Amino acid sequence: MKYAIAAPAQFLIVDEHPTFRVGMREIIRSVVPDAQIKEADGVPEALRAVDGPWQPDTLILDLRPGPDAPRQLAALRGACPGSSIIVVSMHADRRIIDSLLASGADGFICKSVPPDELGAAIRAVRAGDVVVRYSRGPAASPTQWTQRIEGLTQRQRDVLAMLVDGLTNKEIARRLEISPFTVRIHVSALLRALNVSTRSAAAALASKAGVNQMSSLHAGSTQAGNAAAVRTSAPGPDSEQPAH
């Protein structure tokens, strides 16, 4: 009997600094030892690299903050629809992160995080998670976890309840009648509010918060579903306009 041999994972590192690219190669090798890695010194070169049959499984890039960043990311997302895209940057501004997630990024990692945590974040994104990682902070107590969950908006609680149920971004989007990119923004916001890095960590935290807490989350989710069932055609707060 013949067995198919899995193709090596394909990575593309996009950064203007050769030193960073070398360091990122080492981190990738620690996570995926047999990875095949290509490099580009900027978005234009990256777009040329993927303008053909080759596509990376995972694309890691550093984007300078500015009005062109979302447009450049959207161009890469359009050229690499099946790739996991991770933005690695020193600029951890909330509005920038939300804009990048809305433009197609699967994760954001601050360059100041330790290499082992960066590697773990890459592994999580490749497994289908959405990751937002700033820098290392002190661990919260159980009481603080509960307070953080209680401080979420109702929509964030709706999304968190669905994460606990194991729903994907697309499934959450259909349930709430919003776009997957808007779900990414909500996930980013609740990760930031809970001070965790991944959606799976947020779901685990919510599960540990207790039955009563999760009951209130599920109740909020049910109310959202009922509201959606009777929603009129009038635009609501989550209504979206086409991106320009």
17-55: pLDDT as tens digits: 888 898 899 999 999 999 999 999 999 999 999 998 999
Does residue 113 or residue 2 have the better pLDDT?
113
User: CA–CA separation, 117 vs 133, rounded Å?
Assistant: 9
Identify the residue whose tokens are 């993927």: 50
Mean pLDDT of the chain: 77
Cα 42 to Cα 14, 33, 64, 78, distances in angstroms: 6, 25, 10, 16
Average pLDDT over residues 210-220: 44
Look at residue 9 and tell me whether its pLDDT is greater than 70.
yes
Q: What are phi and psi of 174, to 5 degrees?
A: -65, -40
Average pLDDT over residues 219-244: 45
**Strands of the sheet with 84-89, listed across from one edge:** 36-40, 10-14, 58-61, 84-89, 107-110, 131-133
- List alpha helices for 80-209, DSSP H: 94-102, 115-126, 142-150, 154-164, 169-176, 180-194, 199-208
**Which domains are present in the chain?**
8-137 (3.40.50.2300), 138-212 (1.10.10.10)
Q: 105-117: string of b/e by CB count within 10 Å (b at 16+)?
A: bbbbbbeebeeee
Of 127, 80, 123, the C-alpha closest to 105 is 80
User: What would the pLDDT profile of 174-211 be if each residue is shown by its tens digit?
Assistant: 999 988 888 888 888 888 887 777 777 777 777 666 43
Total-model pTM: 0.61
Cα 136 to Cα 182, 184, 224, distances in angstroms: 26, 22, 34
User: CA–CA separation, 146 vs 82, rounded Å?
Assistant: 36
Average pLDDT over residues 198-226: 57
